[in-house]
Amino acid sequence: MTPIQQLYLEKLRSAFENSALGEEMVYILGNMRRDLTAAEFQMVITTFQNSRP
């Protein structure tokens, strides 16, 4: 995983753990779509989903 992917993964985890409002998650996901390729985006989302209990 690239450093920017790791950064976004940590942002998603932090927002989820802090019960972020939907607006914050939409903002993070929007930035991810802007900054990452489709494959990189999918890798972050899959890793995030697999890391949740």
Series of mean pLDDT values for 10-residue runs along the chain (53 residues): 95 86 89 96 95 77
Which two three-digit tokens encode residue 29?
A: 């996901």
Gap between the Cα atoms of 42 and 17, Å rounded: 20
Query: What is this structure's pTM?
Result: 0.84
**Residue ranges in 1-53 assigned as alpha helix (H):** 3-17, 22-35, 38-51
Q: What is the pLDDT of residue 17?
A: 84
Q: What is the pLDDT of residue 19?
A: 79
Gap between the Cα atoms of 42 and 23, Å rounded: 20
Three-state DSSP class for residue 27 = helix
Hunting for tokens 């802007």 — which residue is that?
Answer: 34
Q: What is the pLDDT of residue 21?
A: 78
